[in-house]
Amino acid sequence: MAAWLRLFRVVNLPTVPGDALVGAGAVMWAMAPLSPPEFAAVAMTAAASCFLYMFGLVDNDIVGAATDRGRPIPDCEVSMQSARLARALCLALGMALPAAVAALPMSSGLAVPTAASEVFVALALVAAIVAYNRRKRPLAMGLCRGLNVLFGSTSVLPLILWPRALTRMPVVVCIVVFAALLWTVYIAAVTKYSEGEEADPARRRRVGMLIGGIVYLQIAALAVLTLHSRSVAPLLLASGVMLVLLRALKTLLPRVSAS
């Protein structure tokens, strides 16, 4: 069990769904009070982002199994066959959940465009993950988190497509793109800084703190949105739960690597 926790970097997992919540929250804020929130779609998208994140982690360790040391696969704690099966399962779930959004009853009645856009962004996210794992470019890692923000925004795309809401489309696009770019730059910078952390325990600790710091960025963004629209408040609460979970995991699992 400990090997699988290390393989999935479980202590970092609570930092992931907040990206999608920020993207969804930005759209919900801009559209309020034109339409009720689509929380089921947001929850499914946030869950999908976690599965795609886990897909990326397992894929990364499979790709680097021949050269990496101190990881579960090269240390024979997790077999290559089991890792490949886990990778396929995470990818399947990460792609199936966005497609399943089409089955949800939505106030706008535009579930099909939503599902199509979610699947498209999910494919772009998978492409960025695969590119980073094979090229190790910091910008590719940053794009993974930036695309995660866009992924969340697609979960409430019907709100944007309402005829009476189209006039707000430029505002929504600007907010979501700004958040995605901010996330991209932040994570790209942290990834660049993390180079050589294996030989520097102090830097490794700082990198873990910086990665965890994105949760505070998510909470800050959602708090600002909540000040202007109460419909975003449940997403802010969810991000707070993720922070508590992050701190708990770091306390309970101190030996599980965060990077």
Query: Residue 11 pLDDT > 60, yes or no?
Result: yes
pLDDT score at 47: 95
Rounded Cα–Cα distance for residues 1 and 209 (Å): 24
**CA distance linking residue 12 with residue 15, whole number of Å:** 6
Asked if 31 and 231 touch (Cβ cutoff 8 Å), the reply is no
Neighbour count for residue 124 (Cβ, 10 Å): 15
pLDDT at position 31, please? Answer: 73
Q: Are 211 and 18 in contact (CB under 8 A)?
A: no
User: Which domains, from first to last, does the chain contain?
Assistant: 13-252 (1.10.357.140)
Choose between 247 and 159: higher pLDDT: 247
CA distance 99 to 104: 10
Tokens of 141: 């890692």
Contacts for 223-226 with beta carbons within 8 Å, 24 or more apart?
Answer: 225/25, 225/26, 225/28, 225/29, 226/25
What confidence tens digit (pLDDT) does each residue in 171-227 have? 778 888 899 999 999 999 999 998 877 777 888 888 888 888 899 999 999 999 999
